[in-house]
Amino acid sequence: MTRSGYFSDLHDWLINEEFTSSRQARFHKLYVAWLSLLANPLALAGFAVIGVLILVALLAPLIAGHDPYAQDLAMALQAPSAAHWFGTDEFGRDVFARLIYGARTTLYITILVTVIVAPIGFIIGATAGYLGGWVDVVLMRITDIFLSFPSLVLALAFSAALGPGIENAVIAIALTVWPPIARLARAETMTFRNADFVVAAELQGAGMGRILLRHIVPLCAPSIVVRLTLNMSSIILTAAGLGFLGLGAQPPMAEWGAMAASGRQYLLDAWWLTTVPGLAILTVSLAFNLLGDGLRDIMDPRNG
Amino acid sequence: MSMSQTTETSTASPARSSRFLAGGRKVATSFAVILTTLFGLLVITFVVGRLVPADPVISVIGDQADQATYDRVYKEMGLDQPLYVQFGSYLSDVVRLDLGQSTLTKQPVASDLARVVPATIELATLATLIGACFGIPLGVVAAVNRGTWIDHVARVVGLLGYSTPIFWLGTIVILIFYAHLGLIPPGGRIYIYNEGIIDGPTDSIIVDSLIAGNFEIFWSAIHHLLAPAIILGYAAMAYLSRMSRSFMLEQLRQEYILTARAKGLGKRPIIWRHAFRNIRVQLLTVVALAYCGLLDGTVLIETVFAWPGLGQYLTSALFVADMNAVLGAVLLIGMISIAINLLSDIVYRFIDPRTR
């Protein structure tokens, strides 16, 4: 493949290891990671699926073709056809439209949980790793207690207590997701804790907040991002499980787990009601796993 | 991880008495860890119980009672006491196995739990066995054939297991194998006409029917158990195959493998007698973790297959907001996880020569 002049120059600038600026070094690292991602077809496929998911969620009203909430009892439980690609549900709503809008719910939950969990997990883990001593012992004991619970059961207990609903489901899932992040952040922080650059910053009078934010965060970020990517699949599955048990998103909101659950009553007459949303959950969570797996290989080639 | 372990082996040769002391301290530490974890577990269930928006007094006396009755019951339940006193009485209740009354079954929660837990143990144990029997060899073979198509197939099989919503897979299996093929029953633990015949010592229908020599019931139980156990086992297999693959890769990188090859040992003895022997201890921990993970899966799969265990008890209590039952079940599941991890820790000390 021949590249046009501009791109070939850009490629040369990115691949060149004799850096002239720190920006070039940073972009070089990203570019090399991108190239190795391109070389991993499975991870690339995962990346593509997630891209499609985001597009679908953003453009839902344009793609759906039907109103996901419009009931038409005369058209209930119609098999897939040209008018309704994935058929209709027990209220005559278009399953395809609900599937498309369900992508929004899934993304909403995953992003919200991640945004809550990443800083909390990092702060707890990095504080424990940086300060050490009894702070470390106490924080890690708390982390282990949360880890010792099977995560869905813990999320079930919290959403039962907080009441059904999507916001409460997000809180409940977040409570189960932060411990592994904290563990990871602690381990990473401890490896840098006594590095010369940290000691140098301390001698210059930098406080703990500044050291963690300016020096530790950039070093931990890649492995935490990989961990979060791999976590997204379990967030999606837990959210779907809560939805399936009626504790997540409440009707009439389009949520894949709840859609699969309500389809169970019509399993024999309308197989598509359960099959289609389940396949969507499977595809998206597989995509996150493939991407996370590929990213981990790039960062830690020993396991590849 | 194993790098540091091998160096430990070469340097660790202290006197027997100090080793004994260190062992004692280790046991004491792990005991303290268990106790604090258990305490934390109770704190969590207590807090969850307090978070519930429903008024616990109203759920006892109903919303028709007058204010005087309300105040009396409010005091009787100790709700006017400070939180730490309430927590103390919660602790003493739990120690006396008093988990309150279930509003759904009208029975004490503790006896309900004792009734449903054997079914879950039966299911989760069989699933873990299936997962270990298929997952570990798959992981080892994938590691040995790293980068070949075998490895890729194993990776996709594993990732699929990580990614499949288990309640959905169960529903699809019922649709295909029950509704269309008629190969499996639609759910439950045993055929209705076989119910209540076997009453054995273990509460596992499979074991009890074998003890009683009743093969009709034995097959009925196996028939019901197979589909949910295989589905759960697949999830465990995915996890175990990925873990054993990465453990094996770590071993195959070590220099002793090179030495074994250099002295002309065949491929098979190197893999199974050298490398695999060294990952057994790690695998044990991971199998215990898989078992705990399956407790999650049982909640969903029991609901799908109407399996009368802990998970179904928990979800049906959830649907009617029977919080005593929910909290009791959650507490028990947490305790089972702790117990399994403790057990794996003990067995670990037995089979790992370095801790002897």
Give pLDDT tens digits for A222-242: 888 888 988 899 999 999 999
Q: What is the pLDDT of residues B254-277, one digit of tens each?
A: 888 888 888 888 888 888 888 888
Whether residue B201 is predicted with pLDDT greater than 80 in this model: the reply is: no
The DSSP annotation for A250-304 comes to PTTS--HHHHHHHHGGGTTT-HHHHHHHHHHHHHHHHHHHHHHHHHHHHH-GGG-
Residue B238 has what pLDDT? 93
Tell me the percentage of chain A whose pLDDT exceeds 70. 97
Flag if B40 and A264 touch (Cβ within 8 Å). Answer: no
Residue of B nearest to A239 (CA): B165
Q: What is the pLDDT of residues B287-302, one digit of tens each?
A: 998 998 898 889 999 9
At which residue do the structure tokens 């703990």 appear? A208
Whether residue B191 is predicted with pLDDT greater than 70 in this model: the reply is: yes
Q: B223-252 burial by CB neighbour count: b if 16+ within 10 A, else e? A: ebbbbbbbbbbbbbbbbbbbbbbebbbbbb
Whether residue A120 is predicted with pLDDT greater than 50 in this model: the reply is: yes
Distance in angstroms (rounded) separating the CA atoms of residues B38 and B20? 27
Residue B166 has what pLDDT? 93
Beta-carbon neighbour count of residue A142 at 10 Å?
A: 17
Q: Does residue B227 contact residue B175 with C-beta atoms inside 8 Å?
A: no
Distance from CA of A292 to the nearest CA of B (A): 11
Confidence of residue B9 (pLDDT cuts 50, 70, 90): very low
Distance from CA of A244 to the nearest CA of B (A): 8
DSSP code of residue A94: B
What is the pLDDT averaged over residues A5-31?
81
What is the pLDDT averaged over residues A25-34?
82
Residue B11 has what pLDDT? 41
Nearest to B41 by CA among A160, A181, A245, A153: A153
Residues of A in contact with B40 (CB under 8 A): 141-142, 145
Residues of B in contact with A246 (CB under 8 A): 318-319
Residue A118 has what pLDDT? 93
**Is B295 part of the contact surface with chain A (CB cutoff 8 Å)?**
yes
Distance in angstroms (rounded) separating the CA atoms of residues B156 and B323? 40
Please provide the average confidence, as pLDDT, over all residues in chain A: 87
Residue B197 has what pLDDT? 67
**Is B335 part of the contact surface with chain A (CB cutoff 8 Å)?**
no
SS (H, E, C) chain B: CHHHHHHHHHHCCCCHHHHHHHHHHHHHHHHHHHHHHHHHHHHHHHHHHHHCCCCHHHHHHCCCCCHHHHHHHHHHCCCCCCHHHHHHHHHHHHHCCCCCECCCCCCEHHHHHHHHHHHHHHHHHHHHHHHHHHHHHHHHHHHHCCCCHHHHHHHHHHHHHHHCCHHHHHHHHHHHHHHHCCCCCCCCCCCHHHCCCCCCCCCCHHHHHHHHCCHHHHHHHHHHHHHHHHHHHHHHHHHHHHHHHHHHHHHHCCHHHHHHHHCCCCHHHHHHHHHHHHHHHHHHHHHHHHHHHHHHHHHHHHHHHCCCCHHHHHHHHHHCCCHHHHHHHHHHHHHHHHHHHHHHHHHHHHHCHHHC
Of B33, B159, B318, the CB nearest to A245: B318
**Is B258 part of the contact surface with chain A (CB cutoff 8 Å)?**
no
A67 CB-contact burial (10 Å; exposed 0-12 / middle 13-18 / buried 19+) = middle
Q: What is the pLDDT of residues A54-110, one digit of tens each?
A: 999 999 888 888 888 888 888 778 888 888 888 888 888 888 999 999 999 999 999
Residue B356 has what pLDDT? 53
Please provide the average confidence, as pLDDT, over all residues in chain B: 83
Q: B141-172 burial by CB neighbour count: b if 16+ within 10 A, else e? A: bbbbeeeeeebeebbebbbebbbbbbbbbbbb
What is the pLDDT averaged over residues B122-138?
94
Q: Does residue B331 contact residue B39 with C-beta atoms inside 8 Å?
A: no
Residue of B nearest to A237 (CA): B165
Least confident of A7-11, A18-22, A251-255, B195-199: B195-199
Q: How far, in whole angstroms, is CA A16 from its chain's centroid?
A: 33
DSSP code of residue A40: -
**Is B285 part of the contact surface with chain A (CB cutoff 8 Å)?**
no
**Is B211 part of the contact surface with chain A (CB cutoff 8 Å)?**
no
**Is B244 part of the contact surface with chain A (CB cutoff 8 Å)?**
no
What is the pLDDT averaged over residues A284-304?
81
Nearest to B325 by CA among B315, B336, B335: B315
Tell me which residues of chain B, numbers 37 to 96, contact chain A at a CB-CB cutoff of 8 Å: 37, 40-41, 44-45, 48-49, 51-53
3-class secondary-structure state, position A88: strand
Tell me the percentage of chain B whose pLDDT exceeds 70. 87
Q: What is the pLDDT of residues B47-89, one digit of tens each?
A: 888 877 667 777 667 777 778 887 887 777 777 788 888 888 8
N residues, chain A: 304
Least confident of A75-84, A123-132, B209-218, B275-284: B209-218
Q: Does residue B109 contact residue B208 with C-beta atoms inside 8 Å?
A: no
Flag if B334 and A148 touch (Cβ within 8 Å). Answer: yes
Residues of A in contact with B333 (CB under 8 A): 149-150, 153
Confidence of residue B8 (pLDDT cuts 50, 70, 90): very low
At which residue do the structure tokens 């199974």 appear? B272
Of A154, A162, A277, the CB nearest to B51: A162
Confidence of residue B6 (pLDDT cuts 50, 70, 90): very low
Tell me which residues of chain B, numbers 129 to 158, contact chain A at a CB-CB cutoff of 8 Å: 152, 155-156
Least confident of A194-198, A256-260, B108-112: A194-198
Residues of A in contact with B159 (CB under 8 A): 286, 289-290, 293
Q: Tell which CATH classification among 3.40.920.10, 1.10.3720.10, 2.60.120.380, 3.30.930.10 matches the domain B109-355.
A: 1.10.3720.10
Q: How far, in whole angstroms, is CA A244 from its chain's centroid?
A: 19
Confidence of residue B189 (pLDDT cuts 50, 70, 90): confident
Cα atoms in the Cβ-side hemisphere of radius 13 Å centred on B48: 28
Give the angle A70-A76-A79 at the CA atoms, nearest 5°: 115
Nearest to B308 by CA among B185, B188, B209: B188
Residue A101 has what pLDDT? 93
Distance in angstroms (rounded) separating the CA atoms of residues B283 and B199? 36
3-class secondary-structure state, position A119: helix
In chain B, where the domains are located: 3-95, 109-355
This prediction's pTM = 0.86
Distance from CA of B103 to the nearest CA of A (A): 16
| Of A257 and B208, the one with more pLDDT | A257
**Is B343 part of the contact surface with chain A (CB cutoff 8 Å)?**
no
Nearest to B142 by CA among B231, B243, B235, B234: B243
Flag if B171 and A163 touch (Cβ within 8 Å). Answer: no
Flag if A268 and B175 touch (Cβ within 8 Å). Answer: yes
Residue A262 has what pLDDT? 87
N residues, chain B: 356
Position A80, amino acid:
P
Flag if A285 and B300 touch (Cβ within 8 Å). Answer: no
Flag if B337 and A260 touch (Cβ within 8 Å). Answer: no
Least confident of A185-189, B114-118, B317-321: B317-321
Please state the ipTM of this predicted complex.
Answer: 0.86
Distance in angstroms (rounded) separating the CA atoms of residues B49 and B78? 14
Tokens of B277: 């022997």
Distance in angstroms (rounded) separating the CA atoms of residues B167 and A244? 8
Q: What is the pLDDT of residues A148-197, one digit of tens each?
A: 788 888 898 888 888 888 999 999 999 999 999 999 999 989 888 888 88
Least confident of A29-33, A275-279, B236-240, B253-257: A29-33
Beta-carbon neighbour count of residue A297 at 10 Å?
A: 18
Of A150, A151, A286, the CB nearest to B163: A286
- Give every CB contact of residue A167 below 8 A, 6+ residues apart in sequence: none
Residue A240 has what pLDDT? 93
Distance from CA of A16 to the nearest CA of B (A): 29
Whether residue A3 is predicted with pLDDT greater than 60 in this model: the reply is: no
Position B60, amino acid:
V
Distance from CA of B198 to the nearest CA of A (A): 31
Residue A133's alpha-carbon distances to A28, A138, A149, A217, in angstroms, are: 39, 9, 25, 21
Residue B344 has what pLDDT? 82
Contacts 24+ apart (CB under 8 A), B193-197: B194/B220
Confidence of residue B14 (pLDDT cuts 50, 70, 90): very low
Residues of A in contact with B241 (CB under 8 A): none
Residue of B nearest to A272 (CA): B172
Nearest to A98 by CA among A241, A231, A236, A249: A249
Residue B16 has what pLDDT? 54
Residue A285 has what pLDDT? 95
Distance in angstroms (rounded) separating the CA atoms of residues A46 and A272? 24
> Dihedral of the CA atoms B142, B148, B153, B155 (nearest 10)?
60
